Amino acid sequence: MPMDLDVLTLVLLALFGLAGGIGITAVGPGGVLPTIGMFLLTGLSPAGVAGTAIATHVATGALGTAAYTRSGQLRDAVTRRTATVLAMAALLGTPLGVLLNTLVSGRGFGMLLACAVTVTGVLVWVRERRAGAVGSEPVSVPLTRISVVGFGVAVAAGLFGLGGPMLSVPLLVVCGLPVLSALAAAQAQSVVIAAIGTVGYVLHGSVDWGLAALVGVPELAGVIVGWRIAHSVPARRLKYALVGTLLALAPYLAFHS
């Protein structure tokens, strides 16, 4: 690890990972929480924060993809097509995001992260209102629209060290895709984003593997918990709690140095 962290900080980082994993598969945007935790609680550079965070999403994305394959969403042809287009867009967008990260200062990273968190909170709120008007069966969304969403999400994910569902899930729901289908497609895209992003940050020497394990193992446990929540528990309260948390953290992130 980059420094000696006290026990309380280590516990808090693990809890950020657990909460992030739950949010990834239950709501979508939970993947930002490990990034927030590492930015606020460690002295890592922007590249160190993003690189370490994105490394944790390789395993969580694979586990989330397996979970949604088991529950049937990724066996549907429309959802598989959506996931494929998102993944292809990630091949181009993720390296660009990694490159942009190397150009920002710590203060600039905090400001950009605050903006991303705020946008995500608003998108989750819009998604919750939109979800009631969207059916439960997968619908065909134009490929160009999916490509634009996938590319934009991949750039942001590469920049901040995210897996992708943080932004892609609410955006896909706004485009008309049912929530479970959007969650499933986003998990598949996140594998590509995380793999490419991890390679990029490893080449920059910006992945702290010890910290990645500390955050990533609880995050994996959270993925299973979140998947069960998504299928068996009305998650409206969880979504609004996440929105409130993100919007409350945004100003602090913007001025944290």
Rounded distance between C-alpha atoms, residue 93 and residue 240, angstroms = 29
CA 56 to chain centre: 11
Mean pLDDT in consecutive groups of 10 residues from the start of the chain, 257 residues: 76 92 74 87 92 90 85 85 93 95 88 86 70 55 89 93 81 81 88 95 93 92 81 64 75 72
The pLDDT score that the predictor gives to residue 152 is 94
- The torsion angle over the Cα atoms of residues 79, 83, 84 and 85, rounded to 10 degrees, is 100
Rounded distance between C-alpha atoms, residue 252 and residue 248, angstroms = 8
The pLDDT score that the predictor gives to residue 8 is 92
Over its C-alpha atoms, the chain yields an Rg (Å, rounded) of: 16
The pLDDT score that the predictor gives to residue 239 is 67
Tokens matching residue 71: 């529950």
Contact between 3 and 42 under an 8 Å Cβ cutoff? The reply is yes
The pLDDT score that the predictor gives to residue 238 is 64
